[in-house]
Amino acid sequence: MVNIIEGKLDARGVRIGIVVSRFNHFITGKLLDGALDGLHSHGAADDDVTVVHVPGAFEIPLVAERMASSGKYDALVCLGAVIRGDTPHFEYVSDAVTRGVGKVVWKYQMPISFGILTTDNVQQAMDRSGSKDANKGYEAALTAIEMVSVLSQLAQ
C-alpha cells in the first residue's frame, strides 16, 4: 500500500504571520484582503493572525526573518507587488526579495509562501489580485495552511 501524505486546508489553531509591502498598495491591499479571506474561510482565528506592513518588497525578507526567528508563527505569507518600470530597478528588487525569502525558508525550515507579484505591467498585477482563485494572496494563504499540515504529518 502506498503511503500518501496530503495537506489539509484547515487553519484552525494555525498561527500565521503576514508580511505585506505598501509599494503599489492598490494591488498589495487586495492581496492582503485575499489572504485574510483565504485564512478566515478555512477556519483561522483573528487572534492567530498577525499582519506586518513594510515599505516595499525589498524590506520583506528582513521582517520575514525576524518573524521566523521569533518562533511565534507556524507559517508566514509574504505579499507584495513588483511591477516593471523603465529602469533595471525591477530586476534588482524582484531578485532581492525572491532570494531573501528563499533564504529564510531554508534557514528556518518553515513554510513561507511567496505571494509577491512580479509583473510586466499594472494590468497583469490587477488580474492576479482579484477575488478568491484569481488572487495570489488568497492562493498564498492556502499554500501556507497546506504546507503546515504537510510538514506536521511528515514529523509524525
Q: Which residues bind ligand INI (CB under 6 A)?
A: 21, 23-24, 55-59, 80-83, 85, 89-90, 93
* CA end-to-end distance (rounded Å), the chain: 18
Output 35 or 93, the one with its CB closest to ligand INI.
93
Closest residue to bound ligand INI by CB = 56
- Give the three-state DSSP class for 121: coil
CB of 119 to ligand INI, least distance (A): 9
Q: Does the annotation count 42 as an active-site position?
A: no
Are the C-beta atoms of 38 and 9 separated by less than 8 Å? no
Task: Using DSSP, state whether 48 is helix, strand or coil.
Answer: helix
To the nearest whole angstrom, how small is the minimum distance from the Cβ of residue 95 to ligand INI? 12
Q: How far is the CB of 107 from ligand INI (least distance, A)?
A: 21
Cβ-based nearer residue to ligand INI, 85 or 130: 85
> Who's near 67: CB < 8 A, 6+ residues apart?
17, 19, 50, 52, 73, 76
Strand partners, 50: 17
Nearer to ligand INI, 72 or 89 (CB): 89
* Catalytically annotated residues: 89
